[in-house]
A = this chain, B = another copy of it.
């Protein structure tokens, strides 16, 4: 087959993007076929033409002359497509969206961009497509439009990069924790306690009670009482940490919040870790920092992040410019992230009070504008910043009171707890953690004070019955060492690292108030 003469002028106008090249991809699994992935083809630059090569993929675009078609083929392994040249009489069925197998020769390409191209001898249409009705088009489509079809959206090149990013992040984190003897656990999804959600939880009931005698079983009878989808695995992780010391999980959690923001989903993944026998918040922050730095430095070298950072700019507001995304990776790869107390943060904010709509004051939560300022000034717009020792009254009941108040603590009437929020530029809180109250009596007291246990007059209150948390108190009755941990919103983290502006576009099948497609 001869290369067509006018080819260059007719090539798709997409800029061919240089790919990061430090990670060699493995062979695809399909043992029945000797095919390589598109990414492997793009990395393959033999000096001589190689005949009888096979590639599987989806047609992204078809253009051409009278006698030749130029086909862009993608298979999700790389943002850049493979360019194939097909004689027109072979091109029947090569429609946008079709799943095809192309057999041919891998030939050095005289054109700019891609070093080689596939000269196709044989076309197998494995899954036909009607290009006219195929909803995914090569031109820019808004995230709102793509969100209406989550079952097809993964086929866009960007979404395949995001799927690979998630996968590589999971593998990297699994390796990080395994190397440190942290035990990966599967805490329960259906739970008895509605402890943090203040009603913003989902209940779980069997769809069909007809198997039971009519009138006998109510919706809450399958498990004998009302059960919920977990909002956080922390309490159960604490139990498991009393078995094997240091534990972690990457689990789905659920919130029935009726909020419609770019940061909230009804179903999302939380990475949570819990450490036993720790002497204070320091090692817990060390772990969070080490983990995120490991993840960043590990993935920064990957072809997937290369795809994210070398992508062509586009006009949508859904994706941060690539250079700003690169700055996030660099900041998270740096050492010695700043750590300041809440009191120091408030002082800093008060010194710059004219910059804010909300007046900063001790005892109130930090507003988004405050957190952004701290990330910008203390973290120099790059490094994540730990803010520690928040006031007790705005934090969860299980947090350990600060034992040794620092120079900035403002007296015992303004008690703080050993906790941290980790702030990053733009997105603000990306992780939160604390030491846990490991002593029975102080925990009982705070649970009574916050009304989690009804009152000291209630005899059941002595063991926490009625709160659904008697088992959590039990952990403190026998051998509860000092312990602490943290949680990271995994989808939010991936949004931050990819520059995708809303968590709805980082999750394949996002669920939020009013939306649960497929």
Partner pick for A192 among B168, B188, B243, B517, CB 8 A cutoff: B517
User: CB < 8 Å: which of B29, B247, B279 contacts A32?
Assistant: B279
Q: Does A246 contact B (CB under 8 A)?
A: yes
Q: How far apart are the CA atoms of A481 and B76 in the complex, in Å? A: 14
Nearest residue in B to A247 (C-beta to C-beta)?
B163
Which residues on B sit within 8 Å (CB–CB) of A21? none
Interface residues of A in 247-284 (CB under 8 A from B): 247, 251-252, 254, 256, 258, 266-267, 269, 275-280, 282-283
In the complex, residue of chain B having the shortest beta-carbon distance to the beta carbon of A513: B222
Q: How many angstroms between the C-alpha atoms of A227 and B275 in the bound complex?
A: 36
Cβ–Cβ < 8 Å partners of A482 in chain B: 126-127
B contact residues around A476 at 8 Å (CB): 127
Q: Are A518 and B279 in contact (CB under 8 A)?
A: no
B29 touches A282 (CB 8 A): no
Copies of this chain, whole number: 2
Q: Can you add 20 more A-B contacts, CB < 8 Å, to A129-B479, A166-B186? A: A29-B180, A29-B182, A33-B277, A37-B181, A75-B245, A76-B245, A99-B276, A128-B479, A149-B474, A152-B239, A159-B243, A186-B508, A189-B267, A190-B511, A201-B208, A223-B515, A227-B516, A236-B508, A240-B508, A252-B252
Give which listed residue, B197, B200, B222, B481, contacts A56 with CB less than 8 A: B481
Q: Quick check: is A174 within 8 A (CB to CB) of the other chain? A: yes
| CA of A222 to CA of B474, assembled, Å | 36
Q: By CB atoms of chain B within 10 A, which of A201, A227, A256 has the most?
A: A256
In the complex, what residue of chain B is closest to A128 when comparing beta carbons? B479
Asked whether A192 lies within 8 Å of B518 as measured between CB atoms, the reply is: yes
Of the candidates B31, B35, B207, the one whose C-beta lies within 8 Å of that of A202 is: B207
Can you spell out 23 A-B residue pairs with CB atoms less than 8 angstroms apart? A28-B245, A29-B182, A30-B279, A32-B282, A33-B279, A99-B480, A127-B476, A129-B479, A133-B477, A151-B236, A151-B474, A152-B475, A155-B242, A166-B184, A167-B178, A167-B183, A170-B174, A174-B174, A186-B252, A186-B269, A203-B205, A203-B207, A223-B266
**A498 beta carbon closer than 8 Å to chain B:** no
Closest to A221 in B: B514
Q: Mark A27-57, 1 if CB is under 8 A from B, else 0.
A: 1111111010100000000000000000010
In the bound assembly, the distance between CA atoms of A262 and B152 in angstroms comes to: 40
Contact residues in B for A246 (Cβ distance below 8 Å): 28-30
Closest B residue, CB atoms, query A38: B245
Residues of B within 8 A of A208 (CB): 199-201, 256
Kindly report which residue of chain B lies nearest to residue A202, judged by CB atoms.
B204
Q: Is the CB of A518 within 8 A of B191?
A: yes
Asked if A438 is at the interface (CB within 8 A of a chain B CB), the reply is yes
Q: Are A278 and B508 in contact (CB under 8 A)?
A: no
Interface size on A, residues (CB 8 A): 134
Cβ of B181 and Cβ of A77 under 8 Å apart? yes
A1 within 8 A of B: no
- Tell me the nearest residue of chain B to A76, going by C-beta: B244
A26 in the interface (beta carbon within 8 A): yes
Whether B202 contacts A183 by the Cβ 8 Å rule is: no
Contact B99 A243 (CB under 8 A): no
| Known contacts A276-B56, A481-B127; A471 and B518 CB within 8 A of each other | yes
Taking a contact as CB atoms under 8 Å apart, the answer to whether A37 and B245 are in contact is yes
- Is A475 a contact partner of B278 (Cβ separation < 8 A)? no
The interface bits of chain A over 493-518 (1 if a CB of B lies within 8 angstroms of the residue's CB, else 0) are 00000000000000111010111111
